Homo-oligomer: A and B are copies of this chain.
Amino acid sequence: MRIAIDAMGSDKGSQVFIKAISDFVNDYHDVEIFVFGNDQDLVSLKGKNRIKIINTTQVINMNDGLLSLRRKTDSSMNRMLDYLAANKVDGVLSAGSTAGLLTCALLKIKLITGIDRPCLIATIPASKDRYFQLLDMGANSECNPQNLMQFAILGKKYAEVIYHKKDPEIMLLNIGSESNKGDKLHKEAYELLKNNTSLNFKGNIEGRDIFSGNVDVVVTDGFSGNMTLKAMEGTAFFAFSELKHVVSSSFVRKLAGLILKKSLKNMKNNLDYSKYGGAFLIGFEQPIIKAHGSSNDFAIYNALIRLHTIIKNDTINLIKKELL
């Protein structure tokens, strides 16, 4: 299995990739890695078994417009996607600009027939040791009802292939559970989803209920999805800073904090979506993973495992079969 990585454009610099890639290559013996970036930054990966460094001279950043994205032909992101387009690799990963990755990919990589827009899908832990898939997490800030319907189909298939869910329960993220709730987009999407008999559609769900462990796929437009994800991040971070405050406010509380330290840390990691294996840019004919810009090496490592699983399970071909 051949994987390409864009090692530039992360908020934390190229260093987070060094350990992640080394560990990943040690743990997964079937992979060969192509790392795109400034080779001065990647010198400690040089000469390692099954790792190849391709020196690039440009970096895609947050402010690059369409013209600039096209012109930066020697950027790590574009070069990585060129390898994918030419089938020199089986999948790619970047922690760079989401908009940049989406646009460059749309220019180079084919969409699955029947899908108008790719979107970002992430797996979120919930109660009862269950997970749910949230999509679109922010690839499309403007969506139409048809897009949401296609997201539902992609999410369903992803839950089936990767999480072995039979007939996954799909719900529409909305501001009320009744069928007549929400804006025009969500009312129309509700009707489309309800009338699609191939989907196990269970109606609207509110943000306060998505962690209940009673839903497999939560469908939303990219604007609302991104809003929701960031509110989740903000609240989790705030809850833990408050908790930290509590367990440092007296001697006995400090002691209690020490006893709970390891469990609390596990719990924090579970709720920290930036550490959570990245999001799959679903809808393309080839696998593209977007890791969070602020990912640490552990998060990049998890994102690589996610990509490995997607490739190994032939996920995209299985999605395509469903859409035929």
Contacts from A to B (Cβ < 8 Å): 62-63, 126-127, 138, 141-142, 173, 175, 178, 181-184, 206-211, 222-224, 226-243, 246-247, 249, 252-253, 255-257, 259-260, 263-264, 267, 270-271
Specify which of B127, B182, B230, B231 is in contact with A241 (CB 8 Å cutoff). B127
Q: Which residues of B contact A256 (CB under 8 A)?
A: 255-257, 259-260
What would 16 A/B residue contacts be, using CB atoms closer than 8 Å?
Answer: A126-B238, A141-B182, A173-B227, A207-B227, A207-B228, A210-B231, A211-B234, A211-B237, A211-B238, A232-B235, A238-B271, A243-B264, A246-B264, A249-B263, A252-B259, A255-B259
Q: A236-B239, A260-B253 are in contact. Are A207 and B224 (CB under 8 A)?
A: no
Complex contacts, A238 vs chain B, CB 8 Å = 126-127, 211, 271
Contact partner of A226 (CB less than 8 A), chosen from B138, B175, B232, B255, is: B175
Within 8 Å by CB of A267, from B182, B183, B211, B246, lies: B246
Q: Which residues of B contact A267 (CB under 8 A)?
A: 239, 242-243, 246
Tell me the complex Cα distance, A209–B227, Å: 11
Task: Using A211-B237, A256-B256 as known contacts, list a sample of 9 further A-B pairs with CB atoms less than 8 Å apart, ordered by residue number in A.
Answer: A126-B238, A141-B182, A173-B227, A229-B231, A232-B234, A246-B260, A253-B260, A255-B259, A260-B260
Residue of B nearest to A187 (CB): B141
Please give, as numbers and ranges, the residues of chain B lying within 8 Å of A226 by CB-CB distance.
175
Q: CA–CA, A214 to B249, complex, Å?
A: 23
A205 to B: closest C-beta gap in Å: 10
Contacts of A211 in B (CB 8 A): 234-235, 237-238
Would B235 and A184 count as touching, CB distance under 8 A?
no
